[in-house]
Structure 1
């Protein structure tokens, strides 16, 4: 059995020491309120005792934490008083992530996380192992996991009939180029032509020998699929916005409200704001409010740009057998893999600015994927030219170029009424504010009605769906347009949803559910406001093709996705 890095003892000791520091203090304060002989003034004297006990517990936890690689399982034992022993079979391991924070990179340390099938939580975490040990464990676990998958594949081949085997050989002989393509290195410019040299650029450089993308996973040969160039990284940083940045600004405001208010007053003074809080006219405070909102937006945007740049710095994506292998991060370095067998759907994303400059991103949604993903959504291509992303999507999923159907025109009328009601509420709120404050001209808020028709139209034109032979494609959203490709065999349920207003208009929405995780910002793919008969037809077609896809996949034992999505494509670029 192996132990963590010795620095883990100090870390656990400090962590538990700070936690236990407050326990004796709380006990003394509680007993002091109940027993007269115990004075609450003793609580500072009890704090060092709790800290010493916590440090001792943290050191004991370090010595009681052990791990080992066995022929069939990865074993972890932990716990000081209540022992917990886990034997994780390699066949259940889906991903092995290595994460390095700033402190860890300074001391050559790393954190290794192991994810298993069907679990959204981390199965095992090794805090503070050496960087070389993390690479060794990641390499050996991946190699043994691949060996288990290969043994299962050979077992299934042996159980298949001789006719099926001969047919498979015949198929390979008729399409020798396919076999060559999957076993050879591919260029990442989408041409797939081995006779054309790669351009001399950031993409053509060799991977860092220390990188997990170049380290090799046992006998698994790794191929580079995509590198995020400096230009693409900057475009992605400046054209994206992270809602977490706005939450961070609000959090800082509530933590240091007085300091922030004083700063905002100083900033607003040159443009007509009040001299100080408690002084000034209604107009002065109106200017202060507008300036404060503008400053908050700018600060949140700057934080978003910095966060995106640091997160996706030096992003690299490769493949190792049937897994995607990635590495990214500036201050915190992440490396891990995305099992193709866990991919549920593929989504092309683009906001209005990215669409205007003809760029887009490609995300994959996985079932129960690890903690460094966006709740099951993982970026495969953060940002690239629109045409390349289209080809990547088609080659990855095998989907034909979709011919989208839009909802009936009556749906646009529904959005017009909906947004008109929202505008009415805004005007009503403005009127209410003028009744309790000194503000006037509440009717100026009626300008929001000017945005109702374009908002309803943009909502309508950005909706669409396509029922293909092997895939269902759903498009929705204007500010963040998402085009999701869902193989039929990944669909778990297709449900029809009708609100009171939809029933009156003869409309319905179809909710397509897969096993992928959901987050606050990534909702279930939904076909909105289609004609009821069209919804029923799509529902029935999807159910029939789901059963056919499952039977076909059971016969072929096919992943359904091609991890080498950079090969050439003859399909149209008209995807989203």
Structure 2
């Protein structure tokens, strides 16, 4: 902690003096020899003070954290609110035997408490103990609910009515990682009682569900794309911009590119631009492959009580949990390459956190055979095999017009560039119109929705197709949206929102461009089945998902 804060205290004066000396004459660069050592000493002192004033404790009902140097802050985090206890280790931390413990709660996108420098063994102990205590709290709440249900049963018997006491079957633990069909085992309450007993004795059993094989990891790295790769390209260009520009000029020169950036024709600059784009795409792809391989190396998914637990990472090792009762929706993802090879991925969204959010990866299965992924989703959620319905053909015509307008903008931009430069044959840009019909058709055929008895399933996307399964009891709001063009065509989009946090990449599930009457019908059906699902869950001891989903 002292070294980390000391480096920060040393760098701040260097940055401020270096910038200010170039703007204000009164600022002398020689101040660095005084301010930098003072900043180093102040940073080290602050780090030591922070360390000695930071305390944490595992109590019977809460996890307590006290921190702060200038202003002291004490937090008591109830176990019932804790969602994830993540442990991460970088390369240096693994060498030193240290780890970072992050405690996340439902309902927020920020980490509730972070223990920066904890011994590896202590981090594992905290993760295990907090997880066990959280499971014990959940079990006490279930037992309290069961006691209330028992009282209702006795009252119903006195009134001569037969209450609903049906329980859903539980999958057998022996089917883990085998993709077997469901088999009835003990009742959910008995299974959870066994888990709670194990939790109280400090020996929660961990069961392996899935492991990403090396072949599938390589295929996942080669067939997926992550926005972080684009940020990596910008970082590489920022660090070595001069060397990169010289390389691009050297590559473009033999095929008609300019000799330098100061002299050249419009045609030579166009060749340089094309060379730059091709190299940028290639480097971004290589960065993406490396990033994905390192991030998902040795991915393993398991189960501990009612939580899914995962481990992943080569350089930065992550270990975290996904509470089954917090899962809001389950999404099957694939892209054209993965569909061609018969593969797909399975992602989950939990309350307060979404896929690829700051709360950590929520990938249940990064990549596996398509049939296996769909069986996983059906076993996990209990969803029936969806029979998708598509929007009316009028929607395809709308996409055709939309993409035609985009193509017209591209041609107009080429025409404007030709008028401003010596660019010729601008009309060749009209070839983009050839892509309009297939683009509109592919967008249309990959849209679909299914209104089931217990779930709403939404499918959309071609380059990144997502099939999202949403239990009715997880729906927060259902809203109907209509743009100006949709109103003219009598169409509407239905947005289904849950309690998860969405990112820029992952949008809210939306049933797009259906007839207005159909949208209103789905809206009403969803509202009625939401109320029915809530009443059924209130009478049953059921978290809604099978934690032995494989």
Q: Same fold (TM over 0.5)?
A: yes
Distance 1:253 1:13, change over 3 A: closer
Query: Quick check: 1:12–1:62 contact (8 Å CA) kept in 2?
Result: no
Q: Distance in 2 between matches of 1:372 and 1:416?
A: 32
Please, which moves more after superposition, 327-336 or 65-74? 65-74
Distance 1:227 1:102, change over 3 A: same
1:185 partner SS:
helix
Q: Distance in 1 between matches of 2:200 and 2:231?
A: 40
Q: Give the structure-1-normalised TM-score.
A: 0.86
Cα distance, 1:169 vs. partner? Answer: 11
Match of 2:175 in 1: 186
Q: Distance in 1 between matches of 2:122 and 2:512?
A: 50
1:221-267 per-residue CA deviation (whole Å, 9 max, x = no partner) reads 11111100011101100000112212321343345433321111112
Cα distance, 1:438 vs. partner? Answer: 1.5
Q: 1:12 aligns with which of 5, 10, 18?
A: 5
Query: Quick check: 2:497–2:509 contact (8 Å CA) kept in 1?
Result: yes
Q: Distance in 1 between matches of 2:209 and 2:254?
A: 52
Cα distance, 1:283 vs. partner? Answer: 3.0
Query: Quick check: 1:187–1:193 contact (8 Å CA) kept in 2?
Result: no
Query: Quick check: 1:494–1:513 contact (8 Å CA) kept in 2?
Result: yes
Structure 1 moving runs of 4+ over 6 Å:
23-32, 165-170
Q: Which runs of 5+ in 2 are unaligned?
A: 184-198
2:329 partner SS:
strand
Q: Distance in 2 between matches of 1:267 and 1:219?
A: 62
1:160 partner SS:
helix
1:70-108 per-residue CA deviation (whole Å, 9 max, x = no partner) reads 222211111112111112122221110000011111111
* 1:352-363 matches, cutoff 5 A: 352-363=336-347
Residues 1:391 and 2:375 are matched in the alignment: yes
Q: Distance in 1 between matches of 2:454 and 2:544?
A: 10
1:241 partner SS:
coil
Cα distance, 1:39 vs. partner? Answer: 6.5
Cα distance, 1:21 vs. partner? Answer: 6.1
1:251-292 per-residue CA deviation (whole Å, 9 max, x = no partner) reads 433454333211111122343323333344433322221111
Match of 2:190 in 1: none
1:74 partner SS:
strand
Match of 2:133 in 1: 144
* 1:163-562 matches, cutoff 5 A: 164=153, 171=166, 178-179=169-170, 181-182=171-172, 184-191=173-180, 218-254=202-238, 256-369=240-353, 373=357, 378-562=362-546
Please, which moves more after superposition, 77-86 or 354-363? 77-86
Distance 1:351 1:30, change over 3 A: closer
1:223 partner SS:
strand
Match of 1:123 in 2: 112
Match of 1:96 in 2: 85
Match of 1:570 in 2: none
1:98 partner SS:
strand
Match of 1:204 in 2: none
Q: Distance in 2 between matches of 1:416 and 1:144?
A: 56
Please, which moves more after superposition, 248-257 or 467-476? 248-257
Please, which moves more after superposition, 50-59 or 275-284? 275-284
Q: Distance in 2 between matches of 1:171 and 1:382?
A: 35
Q: 2:66 aligns with which of 77, 84, 92?
A: 77
Q: Distance in 2 between matches of 1:53 and 1:365?
A: 43
Distance 1:463 1:216, change over 3 A: farther
Please, which moves more after superposition, 472-481 or 264-273? 264-273
Q: Distance in 1 between matches of 2:99 and 2:40?
A: 26
2:362 partner SS:
strand
Distance 1:253 1:421, change over 3 A: same
Q: Give the structure-2-normalised TM-score.
A: 0.90
Query: Quick check: 2:355–2:506 contact (8 Å CA) kept in 1?
Result: no
Match of 1:46 in 2: 35
Distance 1:512 1:371, change over 3 A: closer
Query: Quick check: 1:224–1:318 contact (8 Å CA) kept in 2?
Result: yes
Q: Distance in 2 between matches of 1:12 and 1:164?
A: 61
Q: How many residues align?
A: 529
Cα distance, 1:28 vs. partner? Answer: 10
Cα distance, 1:144 vs. partner? Answer: 1.2
Match of 1:111 in 2: 100
2:322 partner SS:
strand
Query: Quick check: 1:348–1:360 contact (8 Å CA) kept in 2?
Result: yes
Q: Distance in 1 between matches of 2:400 and 2:382?
A: 37
Cα distance, 1:139 vs. partner? Answer: 1.1
Please, which moves more after superposition, 40-49 or 162-171? 162-171
Match of 1:155 in 2: 144
Residues 1:61 and 2:54 are matched in the alignment: no
Match of 2:191 in 1: none
